Structure 1
Amino acid sequence: MTPTPPTVLTFAATDPSGGAGLQADILALASIGCHPLSVVTGITVQDTVGVESVMALDSDWINDQARTILEDVQVSAFKLGLLGSVENIAVIAEIMADYPDVPLLIDPILTSGRGDELANEEMQAAMTELLFPQATLITPNSIEARRLAFYDEGDEVQNTSLEEAAQRLLELGTEYVLITGTHERSTDVVNSLYGTSPSGASGLIRAYHWERLAGSYHGSGCTLTSAIAACLAHGLSMEEAIQEAQEYTWQTLKNAFRPGMGQFIPDRFFWARDDDTDADEKVPFIQH
């Protein structure tokens, strides 16, 4: 029989534009040689400009979707995106608790690229209290990191340092925090990985510098977190997975296209459309 590729289960809401959400996860996972499994958490009305509305699925449907596939297929990693409701977060936390040895990666989506609110304060509290303590890695952008770390302290968090935010998030129980720096005022984009050293001290592990590309992109966060999950599923260490996934994501943004009137969409299969590469040499990005 043909060997089964690594499987990654994503919990996310749909995106009709294919830029973010469930569709983005599936494209990125498949591009990196994984078999994507999916649980639909909600249905969105959106385009490349922004999100008009979200309908969260009933939590019983979330539970049934996940439990059914997990009884059938062995999963190498979990990836969480837009979860839709407090009830969904609670039931997903219960499911994750039954699989403590499987890496859990969380892209804590709070707003759309346009700024549409996608997670209220109750959902933020539920994520930090129920899911973050079980997480292997969370990947907030700098705005999300400050909001989630100090969600109960009001607007003053805007001036909080990223180091303080990362420390608070680590104290919640997550093993690693990768804060992306797209929203920071810096010449290049600096993504910062925080965690606990072998000595027990927590703090910055490594800062990654990337050329800042022009334009606004729809689904870059979904792509990055899914790519890290895919790399972990292939057996890479966390730091190796984060490095490879950032390179992959940067390439998807460099080769992004604009199918509508809004943001650019990352090309998750950029490697398959490289005209300078012979057809026989076109292979998935991650090499084994």
Structure 2
Amino acid sequence: MTGRQHTPPGAGAARQAEHAPTPPVALTIAGSDSGGGAGIQADLATFAALGVHGASAVTAVTVQDTTGVHGVHALPVDVVLAQVDCVLADLAPTVVKVGMLGEACLTLAVARLAAAGRLPRLVVDPVLVSTSGHSLAADGVTQALRDHLLPHAVLVTPNTDEAAALLDVGPARSVDEQADQAQALRALGATTVVVTGGTVRTAAGADRVDVLAEAAGTHVFRSSEIATDNDHGTGCTFASAAAAFLARGESTRDAVLSARGFVRHALRTSAGWRLGAGRGPVAHTRTTFLDPPASPLTSPLTSPLTSQGAPR
């Protein structure tokens, strides 16, 4: 007797998985966060949320939770470089994101890799101080970043405090000063610089301001402040989201805009969370963007933005 052929449960999904396209690969070189809100953990969660395979090279193990950083244990430079070499040789990432390096000797070693052309489409998040105020950089790191690593980056993403430290000036007190600092950092050699975290007071409260400096000029992006205590890891998440969108094929400016949208949605999603006794993490994966957009150039992630672009 001829009957209907039985299809085992899950077989359809398995066949679909067999034909899934190979994801782009991004490498993050950064420190770990035992609380899972920032660092390597935030980077890999963000990559996964955006359909990018994440590889990692751990630079330091931090003892960290929502209340702050309680210890930093740097890994030997040769151990970090061995991780990087292994990933570069086998997985061939198309984008490399650098976060916390911690030591000047490691910063210089990574800069030498960049100078040799081994770190494609380098995104540098110059992590110097944690959100809680704990120093994450030893003596000499700031100068090594400024003089040796930043010139090789396609994108640098400091917040206002980090930008000021890199330039050895006071924090920007206005949007114009924030824009000037973005251009000053770009003059060091980076292709594009985004200085994040500016604030403009409004009748309704405050707007958050990010300033992008590129060859075409300076662009100011403003959006309303999101009321939340869960903002730990926003800098890492923004930089890794930008790296992910670069890996997906977006231009640098589009990647920055998409990353802003991703972070804003992540902040909104986690606003009601109660994780830990301090400043909790953003929602790296519990967003409507778990399935990456079909076309990166028409990504819906830019839609939450309230932005203004003003060439200078």
TM-score tier by shorter-chain length is: 0.7 to 0.9
The whole-number CA distance in structure 1 between the counterparts of 2:156 and 2:235 is 11
- Matching residue's letter, 2:193: V
1:179, distance to aligned residue in structure 2 (A)? 0.9
Asked if the contact 2:113/2:119 (under 8 Å) is kept, the reply is no
Q: 1:8 to 1:263 in 2, by over 3 A?
A: same
Describe the superposition over 1:93-141 as per-residue Cα deviations: whole angstroms up to 9, x where unpaired. 1222233682111111111111111124411001111100101111111
Identify the match of residue 41 of structure 2 among 15, 19, 23: 23
The 5-angstrom pairing of residues 47-86 of structure 1 reads 47-86=65-104
1:285, distance to aligned residue in structure 2 (A)? 4.2
What is the total number of aligned residue pairs between the two structures?
267
Asked if the contact 1:16/1:45 (under 8 Å) is kept, the reply is yes
Which stretch of structure 1 is more off in the superposition, 259-268 or 36-45? Answer: 259-268
The whole-number CA distance in structure 2 between the counterparts of 1:115 and 1:285 is 34
1:69, distance to aligned residue in structure 2 (A)? 1.5
Give the TM-score normalised by structure 2.
Answer: 0.81
Asked if the contact 2:48/2:54 (under 8 Å) is kept, the reply is yes
Equivalent residue, structure 2, for 1:181: 197
Equivalent residue, structure 1, for 2:268: 254
The whole-number CA distance in structure 2 between the counterparts of 1:136 and 1:234 is 15
Equivalent residue, structure 2, for 1:208: 221
The 5-angstrom pairing of residues 60-209 of structure 1 reads 60-99=78-117, 102-150=120-168, 157-158=170-171, 161-182=177-198, 184-186=199-201, 187-197=206-216, 203-204=217-218, 206-209=219-222
The whole-number CA distance in structure 1 between the counterparts of 2:237 and 2:172 is 28
Structure 2: gaps of 5 or more residues? 1-17, 296-312
Asked if the contact 2:96/2:119 (under 8 Å) is kept, the reply is no
The whole-number CA distance in structure 2 between the counterparts of 1:45 and 1:283 is 29
The whole-number CA distance in structure 2 between the counterparts of 1:283 and 1:118 is 31
- Matching residue's letter, 1:261: A
Equivalent residue, structure 1, for 2:307: none
- Matching residue's letter, 1:251: H
Asked if the contact 1:55/1:84 (under 8 Å) is kept, the reply is no
CA-based RMSD of the aligned residues comes to 1.8
Describe the superposition over 1:4-47 as per-residue Cα deviations: whole angstroms up to 9, x where unpaired. 20000000111011000000000000100000000000000111
Describe the superposition over 1:166-199 as per-residue Cα deviations: whole angstroms up to 9, x where unpaired. 22211110111101125x35311111101112xx
Describe the superposition over 1:214-247 as per-residue Cα deviations: whole angstroms up to 9, x where unpaired. 1341000111110000001010111111111111
The 5-angstrom pairing of residues 245-284 of structure 1 reads 245-256=259-270, 257-271=273-287, 283-284=290-291
Q: 1:283 to 1:168 in 2, by over 3 A?
A: closer
1:287, distance to aligned residue in structure 2 (A)? 3.1
Asked if the contact 1:49/1:261 (under 8 Å) is kept, the reply is yes
- Matching residue's letter, 1:214: A
Structure 1: gaps of 5 or more residues? 151-155, 198-202, 273-281
- Matching residue's letter, 1:94: R
Equivalent residue, structure 2, for 1:200: none
The whole-number CA distance in structure 2 between the counterparts of 1:39 and 1:72 is 14
- Matching residue's letter, 2:132: R
Describe the superposition over 1:247-286 as per-residue Cα deviations: whole angstroms up to 9, x where unpaired. 11100011113310011211111236xxxxxxxxx85243
- Matching residue's letter, 1:110: L
The whole-number CA distance in structure 1 between the counterparts of 2:171 and 2:157 is 18
- Matching residue's letter, 1:125: Q
Equivalent residue, structure 1, for 2:8: none
Equivalent residue, structure 1, for 2:299: none
Q: 1:213 to 1:269 in 2, by over 3 A?
A: same
